Structure 1
Amino acid sequence: MAEIIVPELAESITEGEIVRWVKQVGDHVEKGEFIVELETDKVNAEIISEEAGVLTEILANEGDVVEVGAVIAKVEAGAAAPAPKEAPKAEEPKQEAPKAEAKPVAAPVVEETSSNERVIASPAARKLAREKGIDLAAVSPVDPQGRVRVQDVAAYGNAPVALTAAPQQAAPKAAPAVKAVDESRVDAVKMTRRQQTAAKRLLEVSQTTAMLTTFNEIDMTNVMALRKRKKDAFQEAHDGTRLGFMSFFTKAVTAALRKYPAVNAKIVGDEIHYNKFFDIGVAVSTPDGLVVPNVRDTDRKNFAEIEASIADLATKARNKKLSLQDLEGGSFTITNGGVFGSLMSTPIINGDQAAILGMHNIVKRPIAVGDEIQLRPMMYVALSYDHRLINGKESVGFLKMVKDLIENPEDLLLEA
């Protein structure tokens, strides 16, 4: 019998939530076949079977939170797929088949002194029951197999409490009251694990950094003209890779990071670590929220390589195929709210980085050019930064250098 175990995906990931079982009890699985999808704080992982055989037990339901190392299923290694049943022959008398002994599907019952331990329940349900002081034996499961899930415990915890408790039994500490939702006026949807993690980390950043934002505006006339002249030849020369604005901004940021190394640094304890690499995170919007995969070594990549990397990461993000390696270790982030029409914003620093650049919508505005007023395509840009690391002179200088390089793309090519 082979066990399906939640693998160790990364040092920072200790648990995940089961999204869906691709295989069910009784299904035949091949070695290396994808059988269950697990959602973690960062990526969705496809857990495979290490053995060929038949899936005999599923020990965690969809929606359960399972820890790394937990056994979530069992496969009878080497077992063949069940043969199809033959129809009974007409001339043979019908005989009553002997009753087969049913095999349990859920986790085996563990006999111990605690009533909670004798109940078949998911790890997340046990954890919630301990936190709320609920006896799992008193919870009525919805699962027809009798397995108590976290939803059952939560529903029980919100149910009215009977007034006939044993006289000498201390009442469990009441959970904070949750106001009932009027379903005719509100749709209450539970946040996904990734949304909860993002919300927690964004709040941590705002509470643990001295974050400030400085603004500037960029005249996009010259870079738009250059892109218009070169985009067709560029696409033809680089196997269909399109020339966008992100490669210009990525190259401009990389050049500015060289000149202002504090913007490419981070605080670790009582030390400042100045990164010698340039891994630029590019924020990508997906149906499940914002993710920030990294374009590696932008100082060594040309425009075509950067554009190809961004396109590849965006596709993987939308198809939920990003790996942990794609998401970890960035030194600076660029986010483009302009694609959604944002005119100006104050982006929040990503993770333990020191700064983030926000791009915005390109809008024609009247601008003084010499002694004339001209309509020019203008973009507001914002640099949010950690003031513990970066002073005002460095932040303004960094953003001014990005502006100058974008407004003079020939200089940007020389920098690259």
Structure 2
Amino acid sequence: MPTVPILMPQLGESIAEATIIRLGVAVGDAVRTDQEIIEVETNKAVMGVTTLCDGIVSEIRALEGESYSVGTVLGLLEVTEEEIARTGVDTLESLESKRNVNVPTQKGEANLHFALDDDAYEEAPPVVPSVKGLPVPTGVMGAHYISPRMRARMDDMGLREADISAVAGTGNGGRVTVEDLERFLDYLEDWPSSTASPMRLAVADAMRRSWTRPLATVGLPVLLDRVLDHRRAQNPKPGLTLYLLRAFALALTEQPATAGYLIGEKIVHPRSFDIGVAVQVDDGVVVPTVRKVDQLRLSDLIATYDDLVDRARRRRLTEADTRGGIATVTNFGTFGLTSGTPIPLPNETLILGIGAGVKKPVWSNQVEAFLPATQADLFLTFDHRVVDGGGAGFLLNRVAELLQHPEAL
């Protein structure tokens, strides 16, 4: 009988691979068209791999817990000629004739002791103590220089420069050598460890890319009593984050340049005010995007917002749900935190955060006395290449002002 491959599908525009978390079938099982047979995890959600036709599972090549790139053959189905004619699916033979497909193999242990000859590199001058007790390399290379041999070793292990920041270098100018790295790995060999999840790796990669920019944070206190009073009178009740989301969008419509993104010598301005909301999930954070926040009233956004947050927590977001945001809102006050410095996503210039509300005595000019009030701190982190402190401060003050008129949101 003809054989049809079960391929790792393209699960989103920016997703190149996924990790197998559950194999739902075994060799010999009969499957139907569009049946979900494998559950995979991407850096954004848990999704299912479905079959393209009826058939019998003849081989499973994938392993639970392993990651495979898009187009990899995860298994094989035995299919009748009639079924191929009905669905038009490609057999393994026809697919291989059209293009090269990836066939997974058992992953071997990393080679920890390969040898490469050092290419020629500029020697950094020796360390000279410029301040007593603080030796500082006087040359431009120093500890930041990575030799070709070291770069090859890092590439072999999938390491980045940030990963070796804890390694003490013994080379010229404090340069970290391959031998330094090997000694460090040997030192950690007996330490407890765990494999980072795809979600954790995705967050780490996003934050590493974000931190390549000059980021700054400004903050100010905001009174929440009017928002809380307004919320109590609503049915259904919108979350505090939704009030913040709406106020942020309205403030940005008045200052769209602050949400611009620097590309070369151009600042690309937003064409719509779609804003993401950070949602904590197991081992990471996902950011679904709420559309048309500036155009829809608070009451019109509740159902959409609640649905996105619910699906985010269940890891059921689609690629479209997380695409196209111009900024993000995060409410870390839900964890009891009163202050923080959130980091914007690599493709965004701004992130607005709010801490926990705290009862405090606040001076009232009307009665000329301190009155109890609920106060929280707002924090705006921004790309300083695009926004200056004055612009960020004006934007943050406008958000705080809008929150004092929740009925207008």
Interval containing the TM-score (normalised by the shorter chain): 0.7 to 0.9
Q: Identify the match of residue 191 of structure 1 among 192, 196, 206.
A: 196
Q: 1:404 to 1:211 in 2, by over 3 A?
A: same
Q: 1:71 to 1:11 in 2, by over 3 A?
A: same
Q: Which amino acid aligns with 2:282?
A: P
Partner of residue 46, structure 2: 44
Pair 1:205-2:210 in alignment: yes
CA distance in 2, matches of 1:290, 1:10: 18
Q: Identify the match of residue 298 of structure 1 among 270, 293, 299.
A: 293
Q: 1:124 to 1:349 in 2, by over 3 A?
A: farther
Partner of residue 378, structure 1: 375
CA distance in 2, matches of 1:21, 1:268: 43
8 Å contact kept, 2:275–2:329:
yes
8 Å contact kept, 2:55–2:77:
yes
CA distance in 2, matches of 1:124, 1:293: 35
Partner of residue 82, structure 1: none
8 Å contact kept, 1:26–1:55:
yes
8 Å contact kept, 1:61–1:122:
no
Q: 1:376 to 1:277 in 2, by over 3 A?
A: same
> Could you tell me the percent identity over the aligned residues?
28
* 1:337-367 deviation per Cα after TM superposition (whole angstroms, max 9, x unaligned): 1111011101011221011000110100111
Q: 1:290 to 1:270 in 2, by over 3 A?
A: same
CA distance in 2, matches of 1:125, 1:182: 20
Q: Which runs of 5+ in 1 are unaligned?
A: 80-106, 108-120, 135-153, 155-172, 236-241
CA distance in 2, matches of 1:67, 1:25: 22
CA distance in 2, matches of 1:348, 1:30: 45
Partner of residue 182, structure 2: 176
1:146-185 alignment runs, 5 A limit = 176-177=182-183, 178-179=185-186
Pair 1:34-2:31 in alignment: no
TM (norm. structure 1) is 0.72
1:301-312 alignment runs, 5 A limit = 301-312=296-307
Q: 1:201 to 1:267 in 2, by over 3 A?
A: same
Q: Report how far residue 335 of structure 1 moved.
A: 0.2
CA distance in 1, matches of 2:46, 2:113: 29
8 Å contact kept, 1:64–1:123:
no
Q: Report how far residue 8 of structure 1 moved.
A: 1.8
Q: Which amino acid aligns with 1:206?
A: W
Q: 1:132 to 1:200 in 2, by over 3 A?
A: farther
Q: Report how far residue 227 of structure 1 moved.
A: 2.0
Partner of residue 151, structure 1: none
Q: Which amino acid aligns with 2:223?
A: D
Q: Identify the match of residue 404 of structure 1 among 398, 401, 406.
A: 401
Q: Which amino acid aligns with 2:306?
A: A
Pair 1:15-2:21 in alignment: no
Partner of residue 218, structure 2: 214
Partner of residue 124, structure 2: none
Q: Which amino acid aligns with 1:205?
A: S
Residues paired across the two proteins, number: 323
Partner of residue 228, structure 2: 224
8 Å contact kept, 1:64–1:124:
no
Q: 1:363 to 1:310 in 2, by over 3 A?
A: same
The structure having more radius of gyration, on CA atoms, is 1
Q: Report how far residue 133 of structure 1 moved.
A: 5.6
8 Å contact kept, 1:248–1:303:
yes
Three-state SS of the structure 2 residue aligned to 1:36 is strand
Q: 1:58 to 1:132 in 2, by over 3 A?
A: farther
Partner of residue 238, structure 1: none
Q: Report how far residue 222 of structure 1 moved.
A: 1.6
Q: 1:298 to 1:216 in 2, by over 3 A?
A: same
CA distance in 1, matches of 2:78, 2:182: 45
Partner of residue 79, structure 2: 77
Q: Which amino acid aligns with 1:32?
A: D
Pair 1:286-2:281 in alignment: yes
Three-state SS of the structure 1 residue aligned to 2:207 is helix
8 Å contact kept, 1:221–1:376:
yes
Q: Identify the match of residue 331 of structure 1 among 326, 348, 373.
A: 326
